[in-house]
Amino acid sequence: MPQKILVIDDEAALRKMVHKFLTDSGLNVVHTDNGSEGLLLARESHPDLVLVDAEMPGLDGYSFCRVLKKEDFAAAIGVIVMSGKFVGEKDVVTGLECGADDYVLKPFSLQVLLARIKAVLRRYSASAKMEVKLRKHGLELDPAGRALKVRGNLVSLTRKEFDLLASLIERPGRVLSIPFLLQNVWGYDPADYNDPGTVEVHVSHLRKKLGPQIAKRLVNVHGRGYKFDYAD
């Protein structure tokens, strides 16, 4: 089944052009000229990705993102914001805080737009597959709520334990080095602090809290770092 794209833009010519191109590229496209109707369409059709204009009368792209991402069904929907002005750091921060996954600057190449859409869709597809695998092993990780359940039971983790587990789970099978984890989880500069003991202690705590069946998936690759192993 073709993946569904919702296009929201008050510029009719652009909507028509994008609709035709994406449809010809094998995607299922629905579109509207305003953010309020876009929300209704999103609730009705549950698109895989929304392409929304940043500057529209009424509900603009940023406000649309804020409202959409509060909906339970929208967790798996990608959002790309289109902007007709130069996108500065403030715009990027605003968009990311609202839930956008990427930006495209008008006028844009349709081929580049398609590549960006496919990239966001791949990320969400990988995330969905990861969730299925996690559930298969009895794990439910909620990054937004910073909550973890093991076989239906809520497990209490410290902030750093949660961040460490999330970093490993988000990169399944990939060995993460001690310097990478110290920087990514703790914010340390590897040039100033590179003590493996910090990571080792937190991994040990995680193993105890997760139980033996899950703990064995936190693998120490000697001399390289740690990985989360999905293999059965």
Q: What is the CATH number of the domain that holds 22?
A: 3.40.50.2300
C-alpha span between 77 and 46 (Å, rounded) = 8
Q: What is the pLDDT of residue 100?
A: 84
Do 154 and 176 lie in one domain? The reply is yes
Do 208 and 113 lie in one domain? The reply is no
* pLDDT surpasses 70 at 129: no
Q: What is the pTM of this model?
A: 0.62
Mean pLDDT of the chain: 86
Residue 132 domain-assigned? Answer: no
Do 103 and 203 lie in one domain? The reply is no
Do 12 and 69 lie in one domain? The reply is yes
Residue 30 parent element (H or E): strand 28-32
C-alpha span between 215 and 137 (Å, rounded) = 11
Distances (CA, A) of 157 to 17, 164, 165, 206, 220: 49, 10, 10, 8, 20
C-alpha span between 212 and 216 (Å, rounded) = 6
Q: What is the pLDDT of residue 152?
A: 85
Q: What is the pLDDT of residue 47?
A: 93
Do 101 and 190 lie in one domain? The reply is no
Amino acid at 172: P
* pLDDT surpasses 80 at 43: yes
* pLDDT surpasses 90 at 7: yes
Any bridge partners for residue 53, and if so which? 82
Domain that holds residue 170: 137-228
Domain boundary (75, 104, 127) is at 127
Amino acid at 74: A
Q: What is the pLDDT of residue 94?
A: 73
Domain boundary (127, 160, 195) is at 127
Model confidence at 87, pLDDT cuts 50, 70, 90, reads: low
Strand, coil or helix: 57: coil
Domain boundary (127, 149, 180) is at 127
With 0-12 / 13-18 / 19 or more C-beta atoms within 10 angstroms meaning exposed / middle / buried, residue 167 is: middle
Do 144 and 116 lie in one domain? The reply is no
Residue 214 domain-assigned? Answer: yes
Do 159 and 114 lie in one domain? The reply is no
Over the stretch 166-185, which tens digit does the pLDDT of each residue have? 888 878 788 999 999 988 88
Q: What is the pLDDT of residue 209?
A: 93
What CATH number does residue 153 fall under? 1.10.10.10
Residue 101 domain-assigned? Answer: yes
Do 193 and 121 lie in one domain? The reply is no
Could you give the number of structural domains in the chain?
Answer: 2
Amino acid at 138: G
Do 163 and 58 lie in one domain? The reply is no
Do 191 and 213 lie in one domain? The reply is yes
C-alpha span between 205 and 212 (Å, rounded) = 12
Residue 47 domain-assigned? Answer: yes
Q: Are 53 and 9 in contact (CB under 8 A)?
A: yes
Tokens of 214: 């899950």
